[in-house]
Structure 1
Amino acid sequence: RVERARVLLLRGDLSTSEVAELTGFAHQSHLAHWMRREIGQTPGDLRRAQPPG
């Protein structure tokens, strides 16, 4: 689930809430918790690390 969420977040066309819902997390905070635990980055960290465009 975390890897699928990572891919969706990197696409950039869905909000973090939408990604959480699509990947089976009850809340975006649960997604953030599991992403930090599994890949060491929150959704916001991941998006900020992306180059613009």
Structure 2
Amino acid sequence: MFLKAVARHLRFAKTAETWHASAPAITLQIKDLKAEMGMPLFAHQGRKVSLPSSGE
């Protein structure tokens, strides 16, 4: 649900604000999806994220 929003905002906190959810809730959903897919969905750079080359 939040994957496209995180990809658009490139920040979990901004996505949480937009969706009126908590940043930890966004992080947990992305973490669960990453485990389910077995591949990284984002490259983390401090508080910012970017799409890995496989996700562009």
Q: TM-score, normalised by structure 1?
A: 0.50
Name the structure, 1 or 2, with higher relative contact order (CA <8 Å, separation 6+): 1
Q: TM-score, normalised by structure 2?
A: 0.48
